[in-house]
Every structure is written in C-alpha cells, then in structure tokens.
Structure 1
Amino acid sequence: MKNNEIKSLTDTQVDLIRRHWHKNSSFIGFPNAERDSEQDNWYDDLLVQPDWFSNAISSSTTVAVARKGAGKSAVRLASIEKRKKDSKTLIVNASADELATFHAERLDKATVRGYGAVADWMQIYADLVVRHLARDMSGSLLTNDDEIAVRAWAKTNGITERDYGERIVDAVKTLVPWAKKLASENNGQEIEREERIARVAAATNFILYVDDFDNLQEKGGATNIRLVRDAIEAADRITHSNKNGEVHLFMRQDLWLNINPGWHYSDKVTGAVHLNWDVGDLKRWTQQRLRYAIGKALDTSPHLIRVPFDDMWHIFFPKEIRLKNKTESDSFSYFVRRSMYTPRSLQKMIKFALDGTDRLPVPGAIIEEAEWNYSTDQLEFLKTEFGSLCTGLDICVQSFTGKPLEWIASDLYKHLRGLIGNGQVKLHDGVSYGEPDIALARFLYRIGFLEVRYPQEVRYEVRDVMRYPDHWKSIRTDDAVRWAVRSAFFNGLKAFGR
C-alpha cells in the first residue's frame, strides 16, 4: 500500500478511480450502521463525529433524539466501543420490542393507572439487565416461571435510582451458583462459560442501551405519552443518581417533540442530546466516503487523501445541475437540499444516482431520474414509519398529488378539514393538539412532509423540522404564512401522474 499524501489528482488517476467504481456504489455505504460498521476501519476512516457526537456517547446521556437515519445506531455502537474496555463494566443491548414483550402486563397496569410509572420503569430496566446477564452466564434466557428468576427478581423489588447498581449486583450474586451448576452439566463449553460467569460476577457497573424506544408510541393515545415520559424520567434519574448504573434510550425526533409540551420533568432532563446534522456535517460525511473511494482505487489509506472536496465530488458528479427555471445549482447543494438532512437520506439519493448510470460523472438526466426514485422511496417510508400515528396518512399524503407545491395557510387548512371531515384522516389522540386541521398541519411539519415559508423582499425564510424542530409549536395561522410540500416528497407525488 502506498503511503504518500495525495493533495491533487492527475487525469490518469481520475480515470482509474472512475473505472474502479464503475457500476459499483458500495463506497457510499449502507443505510444501517450495523452493516456499515463491518467495513474495514469504519471507526477510523468512515465514522463522522459532528459537534454533538462527544456528548451523545458520554456516560451522562439519557436519551439520544434523532430523525430516522441520523445516526442513533452509530452513536450506540461508538458508545459501546468506548465503554467495553472496562472489565468491571457490563453492557446490555435491548430493544423496545423485547421490553414490551416481557413487561406487557406491567405496562398495561401502569397505563390503566395513568400515573406513577417511574418506579415501574426502574424495575423494568433492572429486569432487562438481569435477564441478559443470566443469558450471558448460562446461555439461556430466564423466564418468569424459573425458580431462580423469582429469587433474582426479589432482589430488585422496590429498586430506586440510588441503589440501582447495588441491587443488580445482589441479583447477579443470586444467579452465579445457578449458572455454575449449568456449566458443570455442559462440559463441552465449560471453560468458555466459566470465563463468562467470572466476568459477570466481578462486574460492578451496568449499562443498558434500549434502541427503537419510539416503538412504544405506536399504540397512540395520551396514556402512552405519559408512559414514555415516565420511562425517560426513570432513565435520567438512574443515570445521574447512581455511579454504578446507566440507562441510555434512543428515540425518534417526532416522539420527543410530541412529549415535551406540558411535561413537568422536561426542563429537568439533563441528558438529552439531539443528533441534528447541518450542511457542513453532511459535507464531512460525504468527504469521508469520497476519501475512502479514492483510497481503495489508488491502493492507499483514506487518511492520506487530502484532495479538495469539490475535486473529489466531481469525479462522480457534475459541477452544476440545470434547474427547471433554467438556472444552475451547485450539484452537492442540490443533493443536500432534497435530502432529509441525514446521512441515510443523502446516501440513498447518491446511491440512486450511482446505480442508475453507466458512466461517470453521472449525467444530469440520470440525476433527475434518481430524484424521482428517491422521492417516491421517501414517500413510502413516510407512510410506513408514521402511519401508526395517523389513520389515513397515506390518503392524506396522496391528496397533495396534482396540487401546487405552495399553499397559503387558509387554503391548506381548508384542504385538511375536508380530509378530516369526511373521515378519511384522523390523528391519534397522543399526537393531536388543538383544532384538528391545525394539529394535522403541525403533525405533517413534525414528520418532515411540510415546511413553512415566510415571505421576504427577495426570497422566503424557510422553516423545516430538520433545522428548526421546535418551530411547530409557534407556527402562525394567518395567510402571511406559506406552507409547502418539501422537495424530497414533491417529485414523488408528481411521479404518480407520470
């Protein structure tokens, strides 16, 4: 492998890079961090760390808030990588689905009660940790019918944020003799299992990561919102009141925005980190991918590639794209503006373009077709991802087909009232605030389908959920405000008429 720093590229090198990646878009990565992280030197060469990243992976973070594809999984993987070197610390990964499966009855009772679920959540978190540690030691998951489980659970009854870690240590001590007995009965794996038992028995710190926490919102309703609030409060208290225990939750931005109004504990949550990408962050993400591509093609380390961004980008894409109004736009800015301002969203549009071309740089006509495909894909994602929160969301979104890009406020509300009035569209109680038409418009803003435009002398001042997530609470309702379908979706709507 060559080890000289490269600051510029010759025509020969550019041709070599283009031939290397002809009909191969793998350098742009994969839509999920778990698969992406399997690439060589992912942590060193490909992981981008925006300004918020160090806070997101710190021990004091209770909840990481982000849109789909903004990097929640990458944050979780990086945080685990950072923490797993401590032999006294044990890390447990769980999903919200697993949590709901084992504790459905307890959560249902808390739902009926309607209050005071913080203590329930502390017990549930401890239970998840103990179950996973039991599986680590024995190779089998405890069930509620196991006699040993009953004894272990008794150690965590009445657990609080202040004795969280100590109670789990007590529960583990109860499990160790049982696990050793199982190990002695299975000689084939005895040595390996004994090592696991010893590691668990010696642990004093316990970290729980719960991914996809927003799945708990799917039933809808104000009661579920209370449960989610109590879950965050319990995690926050444990993480900041006990040196031996941490609970880290990962949830979608729209759920976080939805639970905050009227929540008494909102201003006390000290460990919330928002994973919001700006144009500069997305440019750095793309830059790392381009360095990786060039390094692979030229058989050198990506760290040695010091070529200006534009020169790297133009290997694969033209300098400018001609818009429908006959003006020209910088091609990278064009891609970003049509994305949802997340790496996954940008990755998808770039991949559509690369997969659709038979030559590099990608011609403008191919980019236009990629935008159609990307926009249609984003529409389907929107309907699938948020359909559980709004009955008839697919009908609502499709109702904008053949309609103008931009709306004055009164026309938009009239359109939405029509959908609501004939029973085709209905927001679930947990995501609806105020008058139904205004609530629906704000919901469409929160999920990224609509943006708000405030007219100025020369151009609009645009507000969207990607850059101004809290703006939905204070959007004016008069006709001085313009609403518009975001460009990420508008072409998809037009595609149905092609």
Structure 2
Amino acid sequence: MKYVFRRNSSVGAMDAESDEQFLRDCFLDTGDLESLISSDDPKRIVVGRVGAGKSALLTRLLETQTNAFEVRAEALSLSYVANSDIIQFFESADVKLDLFYQLLWKHVFVVELLRRRYRISEGDPWSFLDQFRDIFIRDQAKKRAVDYLRQWNDQFWQDTEIRVKEFTTKLEKKLSGTVDAKAYGITLNASGAKNLTDEVKSEVLHKAQSVVNENQVRELGEIITLLADEIFTDPKNRFYIVIDRLDESWVDDRIRYKLIRALIETVKAFQRVRSVKIVIAIREDLLRTVFESTRDAGFQEEKFESLILHLRWSKSQLKQLLDLRVDKLIREPYTQKRVCFDDIFRGAVRGESAIDYLVGRTLFRPRDVIAFVNCCIELCEGKEYVPPSIVQDAERKYSVGRMRSLRDEWSGHFSSLSACAELIRGRQSHFKYSEITEHDLMECIQEHWGEFLDNDPLRMVANEYLQNQRSANSCIIQMLKILYTTSIIGIKPEATERVSWSHLDDRGISEGQYKKSSAIYVHPMLWRALDIVPPARADRRRRTTDERQKR
C-alpha cells in the first residue's frame, strides 16, 4: 500500500506525558541513560532547558530499572510545610530552617528505600530488623539509627504525605516551645514575627536555631551510614529514586527554592550509599534561580558540578531521533522497509538540506524539531512527502509557536520578554547594536508598559530610565541581556569573535561586552514570528539602497 500523510499524522507530542507511545519505541540513548544507571558515575542531577528531554530520560530510567521508583514532589504534602503558620513565623524571624528541610528529604528517602527493599507492610513492619541484631550489639550508632526508626511505629508504613506531616508537626511542637507567645503578645505566624523587637527576635532566633540544629541530625546521619554499610551493599541490586516536575507549582516559591536546595544537598549526601542513586531533573533556569536565591556564606556552586548531567544534543543526534520517529509513523502501517527523515523531506530548502534548515531553526532540543516536523506534516495531507515549499509555508506557524513557548518558559523570570522582543521586530537578521535608538526604546516601553510586572527585574530598570536615573544605553543593555539569556538573540561582541548563543555557550556574555560596535544576531527560529528580514533579502535591499544613492 502506498503511503500518504493522513489528517492528524505526527511524529509525536510536545511533552513526555502525552508522548508515551513514541517515547517507548523511539527513545534515543545518547549515553546519558548509561551515566544515570551507573553507580560509579556521580551524575544524578539532570539539567536542561524546556523540551531538552529530561522527563523522557527519567521515564526511560523508571522503565528499564527494576528497583527504580518515582517520588512526586506534589504528592509529598510539602504545601503543609509551606503553609504552616509556625514554619512561616520562624522563617520570618530569620531562623535558618535549611537543616530541617534536608532532614525532611532524608527522612522521606530513608523510609521509602527501606519499605521497598524489605517490602514493609502494615502487618509486621519491623521483622526485617531481626537479621541485624548482632550488628546492633557491637555498633551503638547503628542501634540508635534503628531506635529512631522505631519512633514512628505505625506511621512507618503509611503514605509518604502522612509521614511528612507527622515529621513537620514534631518540629512545630518543639519550635513552639521556645517562644512564649502570650508573654510577647504575638501570634505564631509570619505577621507575628514582624512585630518582634530586635531583642526578642535575637532571643527567639538563638533558641529556635538550637532546636533545628539538634532535631534528629545525628540519628539520620547514622541511618545513612546503616544503609551504606549494612543494607544497600550489593552493587548488582541498585535502587533508584526519581524526582521530576520540580518546575511545577507544587508549593509557594518562597519555600520551594529552599526545599529544592535542600533536596540537592540531600542528593549529594546520599552518594555515600553506593547502591542507591537519587536522580532529579530540573530546568536550567530554575537551578540558577535556586542557587541565587538561597546563596549563603561559604556557598560553593562548583561542589555540585560533578553531580550535574547537562543535556546536550547535536545535529546528528536530532537527525537520528527524527529518523526513529518517521520510521514509526510510516513503517508500522505501510511497509516493512525502514523509512528515514530524508525519505519524506526531499529537496533543498533555500539552498540548505532539509535537516540543516530545520535544525538551524531550533535551540537543539527534541521538542523543537518535533514541533517543526509536525507543522510540516500538518500541511501535507494526501501527499507522499514534504516538498521544500511546504517547509517554508509551515515555518511561520512553527516560529510563532516557538516564540509563545519561550514566553511561557521564562514567564516566571521575565514577564517583559515579549516587550523586549518588540525592540528587534522587523530588523535584519543581524545588525549593529548602535542601530537601536533611544526613540526605539521609549516607544517599546510606552507601548508595552503593562507587561512589565512587579516581579520582573526590568520594571525597575525601565522605571529608573523614565525618571532619568538610568541612561538609555544601560536600559537597552538590560533588555538585550534578557533576549540573550532566552536565546532570542546571539551576540558577537567584536568583529574577530564568534557569535555567542546562551543555549550553546557556557562562557556567557558580560555586561561590558555589549558595545555599540557589537553585532546582534536574531535566532533563525524566530525570524518569521518577529518579521525579521532574512540575509538574502537584506542584501538585496541594501544593494537597491546603494544604487538609489548613486543616482
């Protein structure tokens, strides 16, 4: 039977949750899965931008490893922690609860691991400890670890969220005991902390910090030693805890960043247990925000670098991914012969091979190439292949969609992203920084002021400019930095340097490198969405202008 594209044909969905069938049959292992599986490889924090394949990688880990299981952040009842009046009181009183948050994660992981290792149930949750009696006699530290576990009695086998609430409630009671609320005439909540005098606040801080620092620290440290030395010792019987979707709003941001930082510290602490690996996925921008918002004295970001697995895709890998997905789309219903991308995308597109043209209009992420191919296929109902003209016709919808996707991806950081993008609308594909005038800046701010929300760092910058407290040049630089960070533009600081793109270049661009002579390159992915003049057309326009001037 001859193949033709049917209505609603596609090479997969945009998100891992909706792409189950293609993910299962078309997973491309670039070596990252092997790194996560290996107990000798320290990498366990999967970092990448939206659409880079983080969820797909973790899903594959869960599917292929017998003792891999997921702990969902949104199911841990961490909102109970964030919404606790007592926790908010002590947070507002500047008590450092970081250690408590780390203990909370450790407690959750220890119990989940023991439950799964020994299949603990309601009937007899402690029978597994009998085999360690001799060890407890000669090692008091490990006996104390077990005594700590026994404190939980019937709560041990309960759902994780119940244990999180129980664990938090115990701390709340201890913390509450350090403050005589009636004597101070306050209520134990966030607003109550603001009414404390400096003297009382200092006293509260001292007493509460002691409680937090002493709260089961030794016992949980001893439990991890017990896990490492006696329980999870078989390198062939590895256990994996997987945590994804940390970028979703499972708890208020003011606590979420601290909880994620504590999670990262806990992941590092569990390296001691060689046959256990806690694997988490986190967006690149969220990780940066977590580190910036929780940075304290002595913080060293580089100590986590060995744990991080940065997701990177090459053009050849994206091509292999598309080959797998095209083959699944066509071969299953129509033919036994293998089908690849080149079989359905025939001919050059504006002088480039189809794969070069498509990949050149992505941020080297699977989601981008899948989206572009789907836009092309959508216009090919009843056709046998995708001609070059269709690729160009599909590009506008794809480009507008990618601009919308970037806006959504960065909305929590830069509400003004769309406004910043208007600063470069209608320009040539690359142009000099000096071509952006103060008139352009003022027009952009005035027309889009409603998009500069209070939590956007650019609002204050724009406000200072409008009040003559900041120069136009300084304001333009801040807008260009946002466009660079989000990969809408690349920067070529000097004529002798190469173009730097944030999604490809770890070195970044310093503020001092934004000069009037610097060249701005708009990413080809967004040319159609921003009405950018392509190079060939720009050259023709320039020649016409030169000829007119000569006349």
| Amino acid corresponding to residue 444 of structure 1 in structure 2 | L
Specify the alignment match of 2:516 in structure 1: 479
Cα distance change of structure 1 residues 287 and 348 upon mapping to structure 2, 3 Å threshold: same
Residues 72-471 of structure 1 aligned to structure 2 (within 5 Å): 72-83=54-65, 85-86=66-67, 91-95=69-73, 100-105=78-83, 108=88, 112=92, 116-126=96-106, 128-129=108-109, 142-143=161-162, 158-159=216-217, 162-163=221-222, 165=224, 207-215=240-248, 227=258, 230-231=261-262, 233-243=264-274, 246-257=277-288, 264-269=299-304, 270-300=306-336, 305=338, 312-322=340-350, 328-358=351-381, 359-412=383-436, 414=438, 425=452, 428=455, 437-453=476-492, 461-471=498-508
Counterparts of 1:413 and 1:124, CA distance in 2: 53
Counterparts of 1:97 and 1:116, CA distance in 2: 25
Cα distance change of structure 1 residues 483 and 120 upon mapping to structure 2, 3 Å threshold: farther
Cα distance change of structure 1 residues 255 and 315 upon mapping to structure 2, 3 Å threshold: same
Q: Shift of the alpha carbon at 1:374?
A: 0.7
Counterparts of 1:247 and 1:56, CA distance in 2: 9
Structure 1 position 54 matched with structure 2 position 54: no
Aligned-residue Cα RMSD (Å) equals 4.5
| Percent identical | 16
Specify the alignment match of 1:200 in structure 2: none
Contact 2:403 2:526 (8 Å CA) reproduced: yes
Look up the SS of the partner of 1:103 in the other structure.
helix
Contact 1:405 1:490 (8 Å CA) reproduced: yes
Q: Shift of the alpha carbon at 1:353?
A: 0.5
Q: Shift of the alpha carbon at 1:219?
A: 7.2
Structure 1 position 491 matched with structure 2 position 528: yes
| Amino acid corresponding to residue 94 of structure 1 in structure 2 | R
Contact 2:79 2:251 (8 Å CA) reproduced: no
Counterparts of 2:60 and 2:121, CA distance in 1: 22
Counterparts of 1:463 and 1:136, CA distance in 2: 56
Cα distance change of structure 1 residues 163 and 207 upon mapping to structure 2, 3 Å threshold: farther
Q: Shift of the alpha carbon at 1:34?
A: 3.2
Counterparts of 1:298 and 1:215, CA distance in 2: 40
Contact 1:445 1:451 (8 Å CA) reproduced: yes
Counterparts of 2:315 and 2:460, CA distance in 1: 32
Specify which structure has the higher proportion of strand.
1
Counterparts of 1:48 and 1:123, CA distance in 2: 37
Specify the alignment match of 1:13 in structure 2: none
Q: Shift of the alpha carbon at 1:356?
A: 1.3
Structure 1 position 65 matched with structure 2 position 47: yes
| Amino acid corresponding to residue 265 of structure 1 in structure 2 | Q
Contact 1:111 1:227 (8 Å CA) reproduced: no
Q: Shift of the alpha carbon at 1:71?
A: 0.7
Counterparts of 1:398 and 1:253, CA distance in 2: 25
**Is there any run of 5+ residues in structure 1 with no aligned partner, and where?**
1-15, 170-203, 323-327
Counterparts of 2:2 and 2:409, CA distance in 1: 37
| Amino acid corresponding to residue 53 of structure 2 in structure 1 | G
Look up the SS of the partner of 1:461 in the other structure.
coil
Instruction: Provide Cα deviations, 1:249-289, integer angstroms capped at 9, x if missing partner.
Output: 21112233456677832111121010011112111111222
Cα distance change of structure 1 residues 413 and 355 upon mapping to structure 2, 3 Å threshold: same
| Amino acid corresponding to residue 268 of structure 1 in structure 2 | K
Counterparts of 1:110 and 1:275, CA distance in 2: 38
**Is there any run of 5+ residues in structure 2 with no aligned partner, and where?**
123-156, 174-213, 229-236, 462-473, 533-551
Cα distance change of structure 1 residues 297 and 229 upon mapping to structure 2, 3 Å threshold: closer
Cα distance change of structure 1 residues 258 and 370 upon mapping to structure 2, 3 Å threshold: same
Cα distance change of structure 1 residues 146 and 338 upon mapping to structure 2, 3 Å threshold: closer
| Amino acid corresponding to residue 441 of structure 1 in structure 2 | L
Instruction: Provide Cα deviations, 1:181-234, integer angstroms capped at 9, x if missing partner.
Output: xxxxxxxxxxxxxxxxxxxxxxx98643322323479977xx779737733541
| Amino acid corresponding to residue 450 of structure 1 in structure 2 | I
Contact 1:165 1:205 (8 Å CA) reproduced: no
Cα distance change of structure 1 residues 286 and 92 upon mapping to structure 2, 3 Å threshold: closer
Cα distance change of structure 1 residues 140 and 94 upon mapping to structure 2, 3 Å threshold: closer
Q: Shift of the alpha carbon at 1:149?
A: 9.2
Q: Shift of the alpha carbon at 1:349?
A: 0.6
Look up the SS of the partner of 1:471 in the other structure.
coil
Structure 1 window deviating more from structure 2 (114-123 vs 475-484): it is 114-123
Give the number of the structure whose alpha-carbon radius of gyration is greater.
Answer: 2
Cα distance change of structure 1 residues 469 and 440 upon mapping to structure 2, 3 Å threshold: farther
Cα distance change of structure 1 residues 81 and 127 upon mapping to structure 2, 3 Å threshold: same
Cα distance change of structure 1 residues 297 and 50 upon mapping to structure 2, 3 Å threshold: same
